Amino acid sequence: MATPNLNSSPSRRLRVDGESQGRTLLVKKLNPAGSSPASLRSQLPISSTSEYCEGQVIYGADHPSKSVYLVVTGIVEVSRLIEGASGALLEIVRPGEVFGESAFLAVPYRSERATALENAMLMTWTISEMEDLVMRRPELAVALVQFFAQRNAEVNRRIESLSLDTIERRLACSLIRLSERLGKPEGDGSVRMMPLTDEMLSRYVGASCEIITYYMNRFQKQGYVSYSRYGLVLYHDPLRELLSETARKSRSRRRALR
């Protein structure tokens, strides 16, 4: 995979005469919908890189994150450690995206862990370096806040889904989201993506591995997915029809309970 050119879109330099005036001008220049990975990446300077082998822990409870990371190549899993369990899968971070924001938290114990899902090259900035950068580049500070706020909003949406949606619906939504982030569209309208184990999906959806296996087998029989240890193919249209159907049934059940 080619290394992203971090200098292809140089960051804008603003001349700020007053703090309030500068902030107002900055907000107008930034995309009001939020910060995309590309726009955030373009504002980060070149830094040192580190390589991690597949399965290697980048940081965890025993050695918490002290840096912010950018994925140059490879894929990284970020999870939340849970006592007596393998941990909840928070995000799969793809090339060009940043992670490690937990390093900003001044707490003695952090339950976050990052692991390389495949051989990965990461660019790193220590917290002191990031603090210096955001002081000199206010547009970077705003872009970071927007990017991490978007990620946090997605996690909150999934938490809300735990209490509102069935496992079948949560799994279908998760497969669509992951395919949009990690997949490659095929000519027949399907999306091909990396193999996702039932154990990984169970930690992402919030259900037992046995239940995920049951629904994945059912999805395959119904023509929603086709998967093996070599990869997963997702058929969006029939899966979205399933989501529409489950939404109608959910609305009917709520009306019946009134």
Render pLDDT for 144-177 as a digit per residue (tens, 0 to 9): 888 888 888 998 999 888 888 899 999 999 999 9
Q: What is the C-alpha to C-alpha distance for residues 66 and 160, in angstroms, rounded to an integer?
A: 30
For the chain, give every residue range classified as CATH 1.10.10.10: 165-257
pLDDT for the residue numbered 61: 82
Q: What is the C-alpha to C-alpha distance for residues 28 and 35, in angstroms, rounded to an integer?
A: 13
Q: What architecture does CATH give domain 165-257?
A: Orthogonal Bundle (1.10)
Q: Residues 121-152: pLDDT tens digits?
A: 999 999 999 999 989 988 888 888 888 888 88
pLDDT for the residue numbered 119: 97
Looking at every residue in the chain, the average pLDDT score rounds to 82
Closest C-alpha among 148, 151, 237 to residue 191:
237
pLDDT for the residue numbered 111: 85
Query: What predicted TM-score, i.e. pTM, was given to this entire model?
Result: 0.76
Percent of the chain with pLDDT over 70: 81
Q: Kindly report the number of other CB atoms within 10 A of residue 145's CB atom.
A: 13
pLDDT for the residue numbered 163: 85
The answer to whether the CB of 42 falls within 8 A of the CB of 6 is yes
For the chain, give every residue range classified as CATH 2.60.120.10: 32-161
Alpha helices in the chain, H assignment, sequence order: 19-29, 37-42, 127-136, 138-164, 167-182, 198-205, 209-221, 236-257
pLDDT for the residue numbered 24: 34
Closest C-alpha among 93, 89, 86, 90 to residue 68:
93
Residue 6 has pLDDT above 50, yes or no: no
Residue 179 has pLDDT above 60, yes or no: yes
Confidence of residue 27 (pLDDT cuts 50, 70, 90): very low
Residue 107 has pLDDT above 90, yes or no: no
Closest C-alpha among 127, 119, 111 to residue 95:
119
Q: Is 51 helix (H, G, I), strand (E, B) or coil?
A: strand
Residue 4 has pLDDT above 60, yes or no: no
Q: Residues 41-92: pLDDT tens digits?
A: 778 888 989 999 999 999 988 888 889 999 999 999 999 887 655 689 999 9
Q: What is the C-alpha to C-alpha distance for residues 92 and 110, in angstroms, rounded to an integer?
A: 19
Write the CATH number of the domain with boundaries 32-161: 2.60.120.10
